[in-house]
Amino acid sequence: MTGRSARPKATMNETIPQLSSYDETSLDAAFATLGAEVRDETSTPHDAEAFRLRWLGRKQGRLKLVSDAWLKSAPAEARKPLGMRFNQLKQQIEAALAGATATPLASAKKAGIDITLPGAVRASGIQHPLLKTMNEIVAVFHHLGYSTALGPQVESDFYNFEALNFPPNHPARDTQDTLVVAGQQSRPSRDRLLMRTHTSPVQIRTMVAQAAPVRIVVPGKVHRNDAADATHSPVFHQVEGLCVDTNITFSDLKGTLDHAMKALFGSGVKTRFFPSFFPFTEPSADVQISCIFCAGKGCRKCKQSGWIELLGCGMVDPAVFASVDQQREAQGLPRAYGTAKISGFAFGMGVERIAMIQHGISDIGHFYSGDMRFLEQFA
């Protein structure tokens, strides 16, 4: 591959300009012409090597030819001013050459690769967007001083319902809502096995095993007897939290979740709390965050309300503490959750919903399909 000089090749051997006189004015004019020649050749894309050879070539370089010709016939007193001017011209040429190497316009082409082809890399695996979101939520609570606790997916009625203050005939206990392990009818109600419908049983398991203070965050898979559609799945994931100590207050619950939502969705996010009802908390609340898409102005995603409902929470119901202490006594442990001093709060959120909001995912089914076309978007 050869570069192209801006000037025709014929100039290579063009005649040496004649110098009419050796006075200062004639010298200045003659060197100005040579300087303009150099500038001309380097002002447009050019082959730097050809340019170097043409001017600085050891035998046939133009600089040598011109200086040989002019010095040969120069009077002694003109040699010094001539020499100074040739040095200046040489510096100009070298500076032009240094500039050319800094812009490797043609050099990559010379190396013979098409750098515009796609980069090659061993593809790494992709974190599941749902589990990534779940891990992010858990990390937020780790930073707030919560430790991870886990529990089984097959639970007893006691841990999933009874200890959490669900009355015996609560609709959630119906097989229409809960997947039940076969062959449980003959067992005492509290021992019947089912697929946990929430991560809340881990609250009970933790408090039975450990006296207050408690700060746990519980990520996990839960199941309900729900028909699958775009926003429902019989399998889904929750992150639960529990904070129990002396004199934990409702304003602590508010502050904690407000802080966590800002950590997850950005410091500009606002939270709003509504009274709600859960058997295992009192007071209970639903929490909304200001819409992260329209900053609360109202858009399609928040149904023009400016708010998105995100989680449920509340102060731990005294009945839950009573169940825990009962169970602790049954296991030979001292009571540790007397409500005269101990109080606490719990909260739970659906991870699918949060990940769907974060990533604009319209169908919950994508999470469980293993579809590479879906996962690759999160690489």
Partner 1 sequence: MNILSNWLRTYVPGIAVDDLQLAEDLTLRGIAVEGVHDLGSDTEGKPNGHLFEMDITTNRVDAMNHYGIAREAATIYNLPLVPFDTALPAAQSVAQPFSVEIADDAKNVCGRFTARVLRGVTIAPSNGLVAEYFALLGLKAISNAVDASNFVLQGMGHPTHAFDLDKIDGGILVRLARKGEKLRLLDGTERTLEADDLVIADHSKALSLAGVMGGWDSMITPETKNILVEAAWFDPASIRRSSRRHGLHTDASHRYERGADFNACPVANARVSKLILQSGGTPEGELIDRIVPAIAARTADRSPIALSIHQVQRHLGTTLDDQPKQSALTAEIVRQYLTALGCELTAHANSADATFAVKLPSWRLDLEREIDLIEEVARVYGYNRFANTLPTALPVMAHPLAAAEAAVRTRLLALGYSEAISSSFASEADGATFRAVCPTASGAIALENPLSDEARLLRPSLAPGMLAMLAHNLNRDVREARLFEQGSVFTGSQELVVESHSLSLGLAGEMAATSLHSAKDVAIFELKGVVESLLSLFAASPETLGRSAAAGLTFSNDAPAWLEAGRSATALLGGVPIACFGELAATQREARKLRQPVYLAEMDLDALYRLPLRRATAREISRFQAVERDFSFTFADAVEWRCIAEAIHALGIAELTRLAPVEIFRDAKAGSAGSYALLLRCVFQSNLRTLREDELNDWSARLIAALTALGGSIRR
**299 contacts which partner out of partner 1, Zn ion, none, CB within 5 to 8 A by kind?**
Zn ion
Footprint of partner 1 on 75-134 (CB under 8 A): 122-128, 130-131
* Of 285, 276, 313, 282, residue with least CA distance to 200: 313
**294 contacts which partner out of Zn ion, partner 1, none, CB within 5 to 8 A by kind?**
Zn ion
For residue 44, give the DSSP letter.
S
Q: Is the peptide bond before 283 cis (omega within 30 degrees of 0)?
A: yes
Footprint of partner 1 on 134-173 (CB under 8 A): 142, 144-150, 152-154, 169, 171
- Sign, CA dihedral 147-150-156-160, equals positive
CA–CA separation, 152 vs 129, rounded Å?
23
Contact pick of 63, 299, 333, 336 for Zn ion (by CB under 5 A): 299
Asked if 293 is part of the footprint of Zn ion (rule: CB under 5 A), the reply reads: yes
Q: How far is CA 261 from CA 142, 144, 199, in A?
A: 14, 12, 20
By beta-carbon proximity to Zn ion, the closer residue of 269 and 355 is 269
| Residue 265 Cβ vs partner 1, minimum distance, rounded to whole Å | 16
By beta-carbon proximity to Zn ion, the closer residue of 126 and 294 is 294
**99 contacts which partner out of partner 1, Zn ion, none, CB within 5 to 8 A by kind?**
none
Q: Show the tokens assigned to 294.
A: 């329209």
271-278 long-range contacts (CB < 8 A, ≥24 apart) are 272/307, 276/312, 276/314, 278/312, 278/314
* Of 135, 148, 132, residue with least CA distance to 217: 148
Binding marks (x or -) toward partner 1, 22..61, rule CB under 8 A? ----------------------------------------
Footprint of partner 1 on 306-365 (CB under 8 A): 315, 317-318, 343
Nearest-Å Rg of the Cα atoms of the chain is 40
**360 contacts which partner out of partner 1, Zn ion, none, CB within 5 to 8 A by kind?**
none
Footprint of Zn ion on 273-292 (CB under 5 A): 291
| Residue 360 Cβ vs Zn ion, minimum distance, rounded to whole Å | 12
| Residue 314 Cβ vs partner 1, minimum distance, rounded to whole Å | 9
**149 contacts which partner out of Zn ion, partner 1, none, CB within 5 to 8 A by kind?**
partner 1
Asked if 276 is part of the footprint of partner 1 (rule: CB under 8 A), the reply reads: yes
Footprint of partner 1 on 173-202 (CB under 8 A): 175, 179-184, 187, 193, 195
For residue 120, give the DSSP letter.
-
**247 contacts which partner out of partner 1, Zn ion, none, CB within 5 to 8 A by kind?**
partner 1
Asked if 294 is part of the footprint of Zn ion (rule: CB under 5 A), the reply reads: yes
Contact 264, 140 (CB under 8 A): yes
**SS3 state at 233:** coil
Q: Show the tokens assigned to 54.
A: 């043409």
Start-to-end Cα distance in the chain: 40
* Of 203, 311, 202, 302, residue with least CA distance to 256: 311
| Residue 331 Cβ vs partner 1, minimum distance, rounded to whole Å | 18
